[in-house]
């Protein structure tokens, strides 16, 4: 026992750098040698210096990261961002030119593809004869008045929605029976699970939230993991989410709910189109979702001027209007809110997109491709930031 106690006393007298005295006065009281005291002070200074250097390094990295993020966002906004919008308007009666439900769906798919190819931000469907609009969810038969508007409305919305969200937003509907056979739009926000993208479309979920995250909600954005949003949103809502930089080891990802226009305005990414129904031609202009309405309006007709002679000035929101089977003249005549008989009075430019056409008639889906091919260079060169 005596020998073991003696060994313990010897060990306790040895200096341990892991449990060193807290102050210099304690060192003096224990009467360590100068060599031992200097060794301790040197090690203490080294550890203090290392801690200080780590703190400074962390602060420098955080500042550099913030500066880098600010520069990247500014660069994206200055170089890539697109603040102007392009809309098209057409009557739903164009579907009446098809002979079967399959061809009607395919025609709607052609219109959606044309809009996606030319980065159209909004599609307005108006009633050519200004008749009473039906309920959007009601199937009214193949040739009944107004059905072309609602069917085109449904198919365009369906095709624009990312594939992983369609089952949740679009239950079975007679208008969408053949929509699954149509060519996909393959636009940037139709991301696959393996794709890397800063922005994603999602749907908010009815999922329990912990007490620490009362002001948050969960969303499905097409990944294996759900994302935690920065605000509480009721379930079943479509949201545009900007993902935060984070570790993939976490159970849930984190994201910020942003405006659907942010990917276009900040990153310059085409983010699909919105679809709007209008009772008549006049509502195309009066119910514009943009502040101040459309500051550039273009009408298309075989009676218009040569599209190659058009001089477009700067604009923020442009719209190109196409006529139906009876042309824009029939839409003007049927709309009581329009006080003129001449369609050209409604537009800044009234153009013929194919002056030397070989066929007597140009179908609306063909006119969209021809017109946007001619107008796109003019619109992109005269944008207003």
Q: Averaged over 336-343, what is the pLDDT?
A: 88
Q: Show the DSSP H helices in the chain as ranges.
A: 2-13, 24-29, 34-75, 101-117, 147-160, 166-169, 262-266, 281-286, 327-334, 364-381
To the nearest whole percent, how much of the chain has pLDDT over 70? Answer: 82
In whole angstroms, give the CA distance from residue 57 to residue 156: 53
pLDDT, residue 76, reads: 59
pLDDT, residue 294, reads: 95
pLDDT, residue 29, reads: 60
pLDDT, residue 43, reads: 86
Q: Is there a contact between 155 and 109 (Cβ–Cβ < 8 Å)?
A: yes
DSSP state of 131: P
Q: Is there a contact between 361 and 367 (Cβ–Cβ < 8 Å)?
A: no
Provide the 10 A C-beta neighbour count for residue 29: 10
pLDDT greater than 60 at residue 306: yes
pLDDT, residue 180, reads: 84
pLDDT greater than 70 at residue 10: no
In whole angstroms, give the CA distance from residue 174 to residue 137: 9
Q: Averaged over 333-345, what is the pLDDT?
A: 89
Cβ-Cβ contacts under 8 Å for 380 (sequence gap 6 or more) = none
Best-predicted range by mean pLDDT among 79-88, 103-112, 203-212?
A: 103-112
Q: Averaged over 307-331, what is the pLDDT?
A: 88
Provide the 10 A C-beta neighbour count for residue 94: 26
In whole angstroms, give the CA distance from residue 157 to residue 100: 21
Pairing of strands 253-258, 227-229: parallel
Q: At 75, is the pLDDT very low, low, confident or very high (cuts 50, 70, 90)?
A: low
The predicted-structure confidence for 216-274, as pLDDT tens digits, reads as follows 889 999 888 889 998 889 999 999 999 887 655 666 788 999 999 999 988 889 999 99
Provide the 10 A C-beta neighbour count for residue 353: 26
pLDDT, residue 139, reads: 39
DSSP state of 223: S
Q: At 115, is the pLDDT very low, low, confident or very high (cuts 50, 70, 90)?
A: very high
pLDDT, residue 189, reads: 93
pLDDT greater than 70 at residue 211: no
pLDDT greater than 50 at residue 135: no
Cα distance from N-terminal residue to C-terminal residue, the chain: 89
In whole angstroms, give the CA distance from residue 136 to residue 149: 9
Q: Averaged over 165-186, what is the pLDDT?
A: 90
Q: Is there a contact between 312 and 86 (Cβ–Cβ < 8 Å)?
A: no
Q: At 27, is the pLDDT very low, low, confident or very high (cuts 50, 70, 90)?
A: low
pLDDT greater than 70 at residue 26: no
In whole angstroms, give the CA distance from residue 235 to residue 18: 54
Provide the 10 A C-beta neighbour count for residue 175: 24
Q: Averaged over 184-201, what is the pLDDT?
A: 90
pLDDT, residue 164, reads: 92
pLDDT, residue 143, reads: 42
Give the CA diameter of the chain.
119
Q: Is there a contact between 136 and 153 (Cβ–Cβ < 8 Å)?
A: yes
Give the distance from CA 158 to its chain's centroid.
Answer: 16
> Within 13 Å of residue 73, how many CA atoms lie on the same side as its CB?
9
Q: At 382, is the pLDDT very low, low, confident or very high (cuts 50, 70, 90)?
A: low
Q: Averaged over 320-346, what is the pLDDT?
A: 89
Q: Which of 305, 304, 330, 338 is nearest to 94 (CA)?
A: 330
Give the distance from CA 272 to its chain's centroid.
Answer: 7
For the chain, what is the mean pLDDT?
83
pLDDT greater than 50 at residue 380: yes
Give the position of tokens 């990247």. 72
The predicted-structure confidence for 359-371, as pLDDT tens digits, reads as follows 888 888 999 999 9
Cβ-Cβ contacts under 8 Å for 222 (sequence gap 6 or more) = 162, 164, 165, 191, 192, 193, 200, 201, 202
Q: What is the pTM of this model?
A: 0.74
Best-predicted range by mean pLDDT among 11-20, 32-41, 125-134, 146-155?
A: 146-155
Q: Averaged over 3-28, what is the pLDDT?
A: 52
């Amino acid at each position: 026992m005596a020998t073991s106690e003696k060994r313990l006393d010897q060990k306790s007298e040895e200096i341990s750098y892991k449990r060193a005295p807290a102050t210099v006065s304690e060192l003096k009281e224990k009467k360590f040698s100068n060599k031992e005291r200097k060794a301790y002070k040197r090690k203490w200074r080294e550890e203090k210096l290392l801690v200080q250097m780590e703190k400074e390094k962390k602060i420098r990295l955080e500042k550099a990261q913030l500066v880098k993020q600010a520069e990247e966002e500014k660069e994206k906004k200055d170089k890539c961002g697109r603040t102007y919008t392009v809309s098209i308007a057409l009557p739903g009666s164009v579907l009446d030119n098809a002979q079967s439900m399959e061809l009607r769906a395919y025609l709607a798919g052609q219109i959606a593809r044309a809009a996606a190819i030319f980065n159209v931000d909004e599609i307005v469907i108006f009633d050519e004869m200004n008749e009473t609009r039906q309920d959007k969810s009601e199937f009214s038969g193949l040739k009944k008045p107004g059905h072309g508007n609602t069917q085109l409305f449904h198919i365009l919305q369906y095709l624009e929605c990312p594939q992983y969200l369609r089952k949740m937003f679009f239950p079975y509907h007679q208008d969408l029976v053949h929509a699954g056979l149509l060519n996909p739009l393959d636009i940037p926000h139709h991301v696959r699970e393996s794709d890397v993208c800063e922005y994603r479309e999602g749907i908010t979920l009815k999922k329990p939230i912990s007490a620490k995250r009362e002001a948050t909600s969960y969303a499905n954005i097409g990944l294996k993991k759900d994302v935690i949003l920065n605000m509480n949103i009721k379930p079943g809502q479509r949201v545009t989410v900007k993902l935060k930089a984070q570790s993939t080891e976490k159970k849930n990802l984190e994201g910020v709910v942003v405006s659907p226009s942010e990917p276009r305005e900040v990153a310059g990414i085409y983010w699909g189109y919105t679809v709007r129904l209008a009772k008549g031609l006049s509502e195309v202009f009066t119910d514009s979702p943009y502040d101040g309405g459309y500051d550039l309006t273009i009408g298309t007709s075989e009676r218009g001027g040569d599209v190659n002679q058009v001089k477009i000035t700067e604009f923020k929101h442009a719209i190109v209007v196409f006529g139906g089977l009876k042309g824009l003249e029939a839409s003007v005549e049927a709309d009581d809110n329009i006080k003129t008989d001449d369609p050209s009075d409604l537009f800044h430019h009234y153009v013929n997109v194919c002056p030397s056409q070989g066929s007597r008639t140009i179908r609306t889906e063909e006119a969209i491709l021809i017109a946007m091919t001619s107008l796109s260079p003019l619109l992109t060169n005269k944008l207003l930031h």
